[in-house]
Amino acid sequence: MTSKKTFTVNGKEYIDRKSKYAVNHSPVHVSDDMSGKMKDVPSISTSCLCNPVCLKRMQDGESICAKCFAAATLERYTAAGAATESNTILLNDTVLPLDMLPKFKPGVEIVRVESFGDVASVTQAINYANMARSNPHVVFAWWTKNVPIVAKAFDAVGKPKNVVLIESSPKVNVPATPSSHYVDKVFTVYDGETIARNHVRINCGARSCNTCRRCYKKTTAKAIAERLK
């Protein structure tokens, strides 16, 4: 449900919204109506369509970003596009007061960070770190190809214990390797030919992330492999 009230941050107005998973209103949009494998998993995302790093990778034919499902989704669903664009501006603009960040209900156990974009600045990364630290009962699985940005934020404010940092490989069929001691897992996408030729074990493909939760547990597989869709 969207409130008519707004938050003002650095002279910009943002919708005052209360997610069904949260106990407070926040200008940070929580995607709380995801479908498919993300059903029942709340997500905090920004937009790949206004992230210069994402846009550059989309032009690289060898990058997984050239086949970006998120870009097509945000272009098709304008409400999601507007919400993630708002998050992009807000989260990169300033380090937000803790009371402006979403506070999740006691029953919420997992949250995904970045379903449609990636971290673009240290400021954004600090906002995510503060969000995790403010919700110690929730495990935040955070996907990124921009680990150096996240590492700078963690160097400054520390890595919350309830964050699982997942480094995504920017290249199809090229296994990701951890580029920082902060990385908990790596994530790589493989095409069918490579899977068959190299006998790659695909361990991401569950119909429900909420049921699987492999990416949300530090004690499970350190390398996640998904089939290219």
DSSP string for residues in 78-122: HHHHHHHHHHHHHHHH-PPPGGGS--B-TT--EEEE-SS----SH
- pLDDT at residue 2, as a whole number: 45
| Average pLDDT, 10 consecutive residues per value, the chain (229 residues) | 70 89 95 92 93 84 78 83 92 95 97 94 98 98 96 98 96 92 96 95 89 92 91
- pLDDT at residue 4, as a whole number: 57
Q: Where are the domains of the chain?
A: 28-227
> What's the pLDDT tens digit per position in 174-215?
998 999 999 999 999 999 999 999 999 999 977 899 999 999
- Is-contact 117 91, C-beta < 8 A? no
- pLDDT at residue 7, as a whole number: 85
